[in-house]
Structure 1
Amino acid sequence: MTQSAATTVRVASPRRIAALALPALVVLAAEPLYVLVDTAVVGHLGRVPLAAVAVGGTVMTLTAWLGTVVAYGTTGRSARRYGAGDRGAAVAEGVQASWLALSVGVLVAVAMQVGGGALTRTLAGPGEVADAAAGWLRIAALGAPGLLLAAAGNGWLRGVQDTRRPLWFVLGPNLLSAVLCPLLVYPAGLGLVGSAVANVVAQTLSGALFVAALVSERVTLRPRPQVIRHQLVLSRDLLVRGVAFQASFLSATAVAARFGAAAVGGHQIVVQLWFFAALVLDALAIAAQALVGAALGADDTAGARALAGRVARLGAACGGAFAVLAVAGTGVVPGLFSSDPGVREQALVAWPWFVAMLPLAGIVFALDGVLIGAGDVRYLRNLTVAGALGGFLPAIWLAHAFDLGLGGIWAGLMLFTVIRLVALLLRLRVDAWAIPGATRPH
């Protein structure tokens, strides 16, 4: 047994998990918080610029989602190499992920120069909002290579269990951009363009910092197509999984809209709180990815299984804490988002389902991280697609057919969560997920 394997149980202590999860949480929260600042700054320019950022920002959010896929796919592979005691090979995974990220980022940037106008007109319809959004998007898209390089950098650094450098590499540029944005928009007189430039500065600087960290490791930077192909397979499965989630939540919003403005408003309040809880719980999943990958790379399947149980319990505890806060805020929180009595009333229809799901979701998100760290992504893909097609989507469209309102929609989300929870727990009972070794067979 290697030294890494001998220390797996020790590094999987709650303190070690928190040491990985808390910096990851700050990294996860940095971009959404910056978007809030950007929105507030642009909002004072008027209705059209604000709508333009909303449209263009939707496209850039999809690019950031691609970055998350790259990061998650890289973490488990790097962690296995690291757990096997080969830091150089772990970093080499980051090199190949960075080539993949750079290629996709350049394609996005070029595509937005050519097709940004057509895309914004498709989203917003012809008019001044689409034109303003196209101008913003063409500039903002130049930050796509940096954005995706930063995602790849997060992936390999998490794999070698370094979450402190990513913290500064993401937080520093975002803070700089938060200061730069209002200066460029107002005193410099760039208006909406200033917002896009501030985005590009932050993303490019962040990507450059991660590349510098890669270069400092003194490994070969030559692209290796075979490794990139393996990473593309992981990314493909994570993308399909993500599409299933997106289709489910878009359908839920579409059904809620058919119940009226108050219903879709109430749904939006609760679903955004759900996404916020998912953001926080994802930090625990990221820690699980790094630690499980390292344990399996060190041939310590017992340690990986012990860690899976530990993070599941921590996930339940964190989800339970959120549930307690949600119960305490029942009469207060919906009112913070809307003064409309009808909207608040509809939010409270979904509220009991939201509260009840939080502890279950804590376990599900933690175990998602375990299986991603183990490289068992194909199972997660199949589970998510099956749960969406066999549970969530039929339930919410039945809610529409039988006029069950938001309660029916959120019962569908509960069903989706329960299906995933049961399937994940059953998966942990077999050996197929915990395959030891520096790499997982394809």
Structure 2
Amino acid sequence: MCKKSTIQKLPTYRSIWNLALPAMLGGIVEPVLSLTDLAVVGNIGYNNFSESNENLSAVAAVGIAGSLISALVWIFAQMKSAISAVVSQAYGSFRMRNMASLIPQMIYFNAIVGVVALLITYFTSAWIFEHVLSAKGAILEDATAYFNIRVLGFPLTLITFSVFGVFRGVQNTWWAMVISIIGGTVNILLDFIFVLGWWDIVAPMGVEGAAWASFVAQVLMFLLTIYFLVFKSGIKLIHSLRINFAFRELLLIAGNLVLRTVVLNVALMLTHKFANIYGTVEAATHAVMLNLWLFSAFFLDAFATSANAMAGKFLGACDKDAMQRNLNRHLMLSIVVAILLSALLMIFHSGIMGVLIDNEKVWGFYPLVLPLFALCLPVNALAFALDGVFKGMGKAKFLRNVLFISTLFGFLPVLLIGDYISPGIEIIWYAIIAWMLLRGFIPYFYFKWWIKRF
């Protein structure tokens, strides 16, 4: 039974922005890095090759390898959302002393999981790209080389993101923003140095150079994260062999979110697989558009981050009115920002694509999916804001089931039937829209039902 422990301030637009803006600036760093890799390879060329097909192969390779890295991060970094939910509820009910041993145990757990995932994927990456994602020839070779370097920093990334969840739980998104921006800036600078070469000091490394730039940034971000946690956060840490009582709850939340994210990433990988089947131009176009989609997703996910932190705090305080206002105001802001993003993309699409890739074939192809892409963003805003609320409430099992239903009854039917009737990358984006509609509206109506019974 929930007992209201204290009166919490109702969420205001200002308090939401105080959490969302740093999360937004920090959250877009990851997709910016992937877009920078694509832009450097797509505009400058690859290993001094000038033929367009070789250039497109490199772009497609970075696209699918980057997507696999993102998939691994999303799947295994769900401890970030789990620890955020547990810590924010403890923060809202003034029980932070119970977190002292849980946080170090969470870090050790992520280190072990990260090393295991690194070893498995490092030795199977070529097989995955060839047999799962249908990559061939130069795309297969470049994707494997890029991935096998970037994945070396994967354990450090898992720990970094999980500690970001701790910061979020105590209603602080500024430190994650600072760390992400520093790491992202270093990554972008090194992208140009390593890919192009720097005088006679650094030889041009092409696609592999982009991967090494990301690895160096991962190491730097990890070191900064540990510094902020240990020396700046003020959070008491106890290293104990006795398992914290909340660790089981943490694993249950993370486990359900991992299962959910596995299905999510299988769906995204299927979009690459179908695009690769349709052709090299289609694969390169889809790689660019999906990375733009991921950029917008991380941008909008800032509101999910804010909703997550506040939902956990208000649930811990048993404040029904604050929980309802938390959802309403996050939805309003998120959808408005999504519409603005869609409008900007439709107006400045030629300039944006010109920056990302220098290829006339892609320039002539992407307008086929641009309206669908723009339509998808407000739907994404609805889904992501609700994701954040339910993650903060710790309802990972519900989110898992929603993702399963949306994939089985929205994404897959549209993709497979559409491919059979009229194959093309437009079908991929119709499937994504159907997927996101179900991911948004099912949680919305469930929350309305749940809050009445709270």
Q: Specify the TM-score bucket, using the shorter chain as the normaliser.
A: 0.7 to 0.9
Residue deviations 1:282-317 (CA, integer Å, cap 9, x gap)? 111101100111111111122112111111111221
| 1:220 aligned to which of 234, 238, 254 | 238
Return 422-431 or 31-40, whichever deviates more: 31-40
For structure 2, list consecutive stretches of 5 or more residues without a partner in the other structure: none
Quote the residue 1:27 is aligned against: 26
The structure-2 alpha-carbon separation of the partners of 1:76 and 1:209, relative to structure 1 and needing over 3 Å to count, comes to same
Quote the residue 1:354 is aligned against: 373
Distance (Å, rounded) in 2 between the aligned partners of 1:330 and 1:72: 33
Secondary structure of the residue that 1:430 maps to in structure 2? Answer: helix
Distance (Å, rounded) in 2 between the aligned partners of 1:177 and 1:83: 36
1:207 aligns with 2:217: no
Secondary structure of the residue that 1:245 maps to in structure 2? Answer: helix
TM-score (norm 2): 0.79
1:273 CA displacement: 2.9
1:390 CA displacement: 0.8
Matched positions, count: 430
Distance (Å, rounded) in 1 between the aligned partners of 2:290 and 2:192: 30
Distance (Å, rounded) in 2 between the aligned partners of 1:128 and 1:263: 16
Quote the residue 1:145 is aligned against: 155
For structure 1, list consecutive stretches of 5 or more residues without a partner in the other structure: 436-442
Secondary structure of the residue that 1:429 maps to in structure 2? Answer: helix
Identity value in percent:
23
Residue deviations 1:324-348 (CA, integer Å, cap 9, x gap)? 2234346765666667776555533
Let me know the Cα RMSD of the aligned residues.
3.8
Higher RCO (CA-CA < 8 Å; seq separation 6+): 2
1:374 CA displacement: 0.9
Residue deviations 1:249-272 (CA, integer Å, cap 9, x gap)? 333344455555555555445433
The structure-2 alpha-carbon separation of the partners of 1:338 and 1:146, relative to structure 1 and needing over 3 Å to count, comes to closer
Residue deviations 1:31-63 (CA, integer Å, cap 9, x gap)? 333445566389665569968877765554344
Quote the residue 2:172 is aligned against: 162
Quote the residue 1:380 is aligned against: 399
Alignment of 1:15-414 (within 5 A): 15-37=14-36, 40=40, 45-46=47-48, 60-66=69-75, 68-90=77-99, 92-109=101-118, 111=119, 116-120=122-126, 123=129, 140-179=150-189, 186=198, 187-189=200-202, 192=205, 198-216=213-231, 217-222=235-240, 224=243, 227-256=246-275, 264=283, 266-329=285-348, 343-344=362-363, 346-403=365-422, 405-414=424-433
1:233 CA displacement: 2.0
Judge conservation of contact 2:100–2:236 (CA < 8 Å) in 1.
Answer: no
Distance (Å, rounded) in 2 between the aligned partners of 1:128 and 1:319: 36
1:405 CA displacement: 4.3
Quote the residue 1:440 is aligned against: none
1:122 CA displacement: 5.2
Judge conservation of contact 2:300–2:381 (CA < 8 Å) in 1.
Answer: yes
Judge conservation of contact 1:96–1:227 (CA < 8 Å) in 2.
Answer: no
Secondary structure of the residue that 1:375 maps to in structure 2? Answer: coil
TM-score (norm 1): 0.81
Secondary structure of the residue that 1:8 maps to in structure 2? Answer: coil
> Aligned partner of 2:392: which letter?
G
Return 291-300 or 415-424, whichever deviates more: 415-424
